[in-house]
Chains A and B, each alone.
Chain A
Amino acid sequence: MPDSPHTIHVEELTKRYGGAVAVDHLSFAVRPGRVTGFLGPNGAGKSTTMRLILGLDRPDSGHATVGGCAYRDLSRPLTEVGALLDAGALHPARRARDHLRWLARSQHLSLRRVDEVLELVGLTEVAHARCHGFSLGMRQRLGLASAILGDPAVLLLDEPTNGLDPEGMIWIRILLRRLAAEGRTVLVSSHLMHEIALMADHLVVIGRGRLIADCTPSELVARSGGEAVLVRTPDTDRLTRLLSARSATVDNEDGALLVSGLSATDIAELAASGGVVLHELTPRAASLEAAFMELTHDWVEYEAGGDQ
């Protein structure tokens, strides 16, 4: 794929805090035009990686660039990269509009843009209120307003759905998908797969600071053994033998069989040809989350073993 000017490149990035390794030789690229989900369990190093990309923390080795440039070398950074790291990063005694006003002024942006983004995130009503009374959801919206203030081509958002109500979550999902559709690079972190699953076109999964997966959601599912199918039959022994003969994996779950390695169609045909009656045949829908859990769970276990 030809390199776009708005790609985020992370190369061999390593960061230690004291003796603990937060990010460990991490390399990946985030490309424009799609929403990239940045996933990992809590403490996996997602926020640290974002801070390293944004030049807030200095890496011990490796480097990160945005559009080929280190963040520190951008002259009006907010017009090129927008970031939401911590919704609490506001002075509680400052009015919402003043917070955006100084940010806009620092990037030579007009006041009109401030009112535009306030409108866009739905905070016009409270523009002149001081931030100390804001709910977490309102802070997230204001943080998002400052991220998109400079109309940047690259966006990094750390757990932006934190504290949002269901309506807010749908809103942010639609907004991020639209921003990606406009050709922007969007990196969104979360420790919850089901949030990301609804908006991400691509996934970067890390655990203990290391890369676990850099692929599409369907590839992630395939990697963890594909989709499973729940099968109910009065003749479990016979069906299990038939399935095992086709080298499918069969687990018992609550009196039913959880089959992976064969599609629902294959299982139905196999049962029919063997004369086995089926009472239920259900493909498991939440398999992306299951795949994520399995992937990161294995990683954490492996790492814990490695520490001994």
Chain B
Amino acid sequence: MTRLFTGRTGDLVAAEWIKMRSLRSTGWALLALVMVSVGLSVMATSLYMSKWSSLDQADRDHLLTDPVGLILQPTAIYGQIAVCVLGALMIASEYATGTIRVTMLAQPRRPAVLLAKATVLAGVVMVVGELIAVTSFLIGQRVLAERADVSLGDPGVLRAIIGTGLYLAAMALFSLGVGTAIRHTGTAIATILGTVLVLPPLTSLLPGRLGHYLSTYLPGEAGQQLLSVGDGSGSWVMPWQGFAALMLWALGALGVGGLLLVRRDV
């Protein structure tokens, strides 16, 4: 991966790659991501199959119209927690340990540091995310085979599989941005998970269309549109529009984080 970059940028990306690899916590976070994602996907699809006779028509329709969504949703909803932690830790742990000063001495152009971190993080999460998506899909396809026929060629399926990696990578970037802005590990992770997991159900308490509107554009809800084969008809946004909204969140967080990084003393 690091060969893609040359000169100073390449050196910085390579350095961040070494930093990431040399911490055991990276391996644990990625292992947790894979286990939770694939494990819950298998569990969810198996449950649907074993309870099929007792499911009502709405649940059966849900499976039949969007089998890929059922296979990949666990990755999005639960796997993303590991990704968010990884993204926030990538910079907040440097503040916690004081390593950030060494990093800034090695590269005083601070946006370049953030860019190098973002490149490594997005790259790693993207690759692992795709690995998870393909594995979950191949297993889920077999589990569901009895009731639902789903293949890679079906409309929206390839998009959902590619989308899983994209979704996780965008979430990681959002977390990196928030971590950069907040600097404190615990507060950063709480803020990110609050935005991703706690806010969506709360918006349903808001009256009328306002709650629906807000929840549609929260980073998690918006980005997950990419993971179903639907045309977004149940939602206000189309899959790629939803992903664009998530990318805006990610770039916004990185922008704010980067600005603060440049302006603040280390």
Contacts and interface: CB of A to CB of B under 8 A. Distances in A.
Interface of A: 51, 54-58, 71-78, 83, 85-86, 88-95, 98-99, 101-103, 105-108, 146
Contact of B106 (A51, A58, A78): A78
B266 A102 contact: no
Contact of A103 (B8, B15, B104): B15
A98 B22 contact: yes
A90 B265 contact: no
Contacts of A92: 97
Contacts of B102: 89-90, 103, 146
Interface size class of B (residues with CB under 8 A): 20 to 34
A106 B15 CA distance: 5
Interface string B3-40: 00000100110111011001111000000000000000
Given A88-B98, A89-B99, A77 B22 contact: no
Given A94-B22, A107-B11, A56 B99 contact: no
Nearest to A89: B98
A102 B18 CA distance: 6
Contact of B108 (A72, A85, A90): A72
Contacts of A94: 19, 22-23
Given A75-B8, A105-B15, A95 B109 contact: no
Given A93-B23, A102-B19, A57 B101 contact: no
Given A98-B22, A102-B19, A105-B18, A71 B108 contact: yes
Contacts of B11: 105-108
Contacts of B265: 51, 56-58
Given A57-B265, A75-B8, A85 B109 contact: no
B266 A56 contact: yes
Contacts of B24: 93
B108 A55 contact: yes
Given A77-B108, A78-B106, A108-B11, A89 B22 contact: no
B241 interface: no
Given A77-B106, A90-B98, 16 more contacts: A54-B105, A55-B108, A56-B105, A56-B266, A76-B8, A77-B108, A89-B97, A89-B98, A98-B18, A101-B22, A102-B19, A103-B102, A103-B106, A105-B11, A106-B11, A146-B102
Nearest to B93: A91
A14 to B, nearest CB: 14
Contacts of A99: 22
B107 interface: yes
Contacts of B25: 93
A153 to B, nearest CB: 16
